């Protein structure tokens, strides 16, 4: 459920016609709905409310916009961060340091120091080597870093291979069959309070079974660690819950996920931690675009060339991802079209042979479910600048990220003397 609906034949974000935004700030532009963000944060919290001790950290890689983070912070969510930049954003949005979990397979020394300086709640350790370095850094500063050890359970998440993280060949975590020894060695280091285990097997999961399989393995590991005399008070179950990108698709609900977690993790006697990203913000955003022109093709379906491109929304080019595409003011007719951007490569294609609302030059349309992994994956390829972002609240909106013009990007470039 989201708040992008037609009212009298005009697509609105909450109570605001999208054309108002396009007229004010131009296109392409990401439009977020505050009410939708809040709704999903609350639905997720509610889905876990029956569990005794929980901590929810929004995976801010999904949408790190400061206004979005402010909504999360107001909803009482913590943050899962994977870089110094994300850590700074979480703090700037007012998320308490203690509610921040630092994940990420390649934490650099300066980023660990940044986390120690801020006094964040937990580091999720990705390797024995990383744990040794962090413990030494913390000890040298007279600190003790609270940590969880991320394990790789060798479970196939059955999602796109580029966003699958829990198979043995993936770079993430330590092999679960070696976790006992690594845990024991790291737990004995000064500077480290190793308090738990973490797992995250992938993103956009379509069914709960792979998650359940991973959690069962994690439960076995917790029992094994405790039997060996280790202390385990926390278990981070990661994120990964998928969302429908096509109208009519059905995905497991947060409530079903919460029920599965309750069943599988009963008796663990830990604080269960969660890192949801997409499920919170995915359908809370659309990418609003304008049709530049419609070009006849040699073999049937015309090309609808829109002013958004793969640099603004990379998912279709990168993962072959589907985003529903709807006219802002449908005229009642349909057409079969190829939806493409203006960038000079064939990969800049959003859809081929898609049945869509009939469109012509100048019309507005949206790519739906673009609130997660949308603006944050944008680039300035083809010197197109960075896309603008706005947030709607009822019948008002605010620009929450300025459009960065190509001139601003080239202003940061330098031609050395010896080329003048």
Active site residues: 344
Decide if residue 163 touches ligand LLP (CB under 6 A): yes
Among 276, 316, 330, 371, binds ligand LLP (CB under 6 A): 276
Cβ-proximal residues to 97 (8 Å cutoff; 6+ apart), any chain = 91, 118, 119, 120, 121
| Interface stretch with ligand LLP, choices 11-19, 111-119, 273-281, 394-402 (CB under 6 A) | 273-281
Q: At closest approach, how far in Å is the CB of 189 from ligand LLP?
A: 23
> Is 200 a binder of ligand LLP (CB under 6 A)?
yes
Contact call for residue 278 and ligand LLP (CB under 6 A): yes
Question: Does 203 participate in binding ligand LLP (rule CB under 6 A)?
Answer: yes
8 Å CB contact between 314 and 378: yes
Question: Does 152 engage in binding with ligand LLP (CB under 6 A)?
Answer: no
Instruction: Classify residue 122 by burial, with Cβ atoms within 10 Å: 0-12, 13-18, 19+.
Output: buried
The DSSP bridge partners found for residue 272 are 54, 235
Tokens 């999720």, located at residue: 124
281-340: contacts with ligand LLP (CB under 6 A): 315, 319
The residue behind tokens 């830990």 is 270
Q: Is 43 in the site for ligand LLP (CB under 6 A)?
A: no
d(CA 115, CA 64): 18
With CA atoms as reference, report the closest residue to 359 among 340, 387, 386.
340
Residue 3 lies near ligand LLP (rule: CB under 6 A) = no
From residue 208 to residue 247, the character string flagging contacts with ligand LLP as x (rule: CB under 6 A) and all else as - is: ------------------------------xxxx------
Which are the contacts of 380, defined by CB distance < 8 A and separation ≥ 6? 311, 386, 404, 406, 409
Instruction: Give me 357's structure tokens.
Output: 């609302």
Query: Per CB under 6 A, which of residues 84..123 are in contact with ligand LLP?
Result: 103
Of 15-23, 55-63, 83-91, 185-193, which segment contacts ligand LLP by CB under 6 A? 55-63
- Under the binding rule (CB under 6 A), the answer on residue 62 touching ligand LLP is yes
CB of 382 to ligand LLP, least distance (A): 20
CB of 157 to ligand LLP, least distance (A): 10
Q: Which residue has the tokens 């370095």?
A: 133
The count of chain residues that interact with ligand LLP, using the rule CB under 6 A, is: 21
CA distances from 31 to 63, 160, 299, 300 (A): 12, 26, 34, 33
User: Both tokens of residue 395?
Assistant: 């019948």
- Provide, rounded to whole angstroms, the least separation between the CB of residue 294 and ligand LLP: 28
Smallest gap from residue 204 Cβ to ligand LLP (A) = 5
- The CA angle 146-264-48, to the nearest 5 degrees, is 70
CB of 62 to ligand LLP, least distance (A): 5
Find residue 291's DSSP bridge partners.
Answer: 306
Residues that bind ligand LLP (CB under 6 A): 59, 61-62, 80, 103, 163, 200, 203-204, 238-241, 275-279, 315, 319, 373
């Amino acid at each position: 459920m989201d708040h992008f609906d037609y009212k009298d034949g005009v697509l609105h974000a909450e109570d605001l016609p999208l054309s108002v935004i396009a007229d004010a700030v131009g296109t392409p532009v990401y439009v977020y709905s505050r009410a939708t963000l809040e709704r999903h944060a609350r639905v997720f919290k509610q889905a876990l409310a029956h569990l005794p001790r929980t901590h929810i950290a929004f995976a801010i890689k999904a949408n790190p916009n400061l206004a979005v983070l402010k909504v999360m912070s107001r909803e009482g969510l913590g943050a899962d961060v994977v870089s110094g930049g994300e850590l700074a954003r979480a703090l700037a949005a007012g998320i308490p340091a203690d509610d921040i979990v630092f994940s990420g397979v390649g934490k650099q020394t300066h980023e660990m120091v940044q986390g120690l300086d801020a006094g964040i709640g937990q580091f999720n350790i990705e390797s024995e080597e990383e744990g040794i370095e962090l413990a030494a850094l913390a000890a040298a500063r007279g600190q003790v870093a609270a940590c969880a050890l991320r394990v790789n359970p060798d479970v196939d998440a059955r999602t796109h291979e580029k966003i699958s993280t829990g198979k043995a060949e993936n770079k993430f975590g330590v092999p679960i069959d070696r976790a006992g020894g690594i845990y024991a060695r790291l737990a004995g280091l000064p500077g480290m309070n190793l308090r738990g285990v973490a797992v995250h097997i992938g993103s956009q999961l379509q069914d709960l079974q792979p998650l359940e399989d991973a959690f069962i393995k994690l439960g076995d590991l917790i029992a094994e660690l405790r039997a060996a005399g280790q202390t385990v008070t926390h278990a981070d179950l990661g994120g990964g819950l998928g969302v429908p990108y096509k109208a009519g698709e059905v995905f497991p609900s947060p409530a079903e996920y919460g029920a599965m977690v309750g069943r599988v993790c009963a008796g663990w006697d830990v604080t269960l931690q969660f890192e949801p990203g997409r499920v919170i913000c995915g359908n809370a955003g659309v990418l609003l675009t304008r049709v530049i022109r419609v070009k006849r093709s040699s073999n049937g379906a015309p090309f609808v060339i829109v002013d958004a491109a793969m640099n603004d929304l990379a998912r279709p080019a990168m993962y072959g991802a589907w985003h529903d595409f709807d006219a802002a003011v449908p005229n009642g007719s349909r057409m079969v079209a190829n939806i493409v951007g203006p960038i000079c490569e064939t990969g800049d294609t959003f859809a081929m042979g898609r049945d869509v609302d009939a469109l012509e030059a100048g019309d507005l349309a949206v790519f739906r479910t673009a609130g997660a992994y949308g603006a944050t994956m944008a680039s300035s390829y083809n010197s197109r600048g960075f896309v603008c972002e706005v947030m709607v609240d009822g019948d008002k909106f605010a620009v929450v990220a300025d459009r960065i013009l190509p001139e601003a990007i080239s202003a940061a470039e330098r031609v050395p003397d010896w080329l003048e």
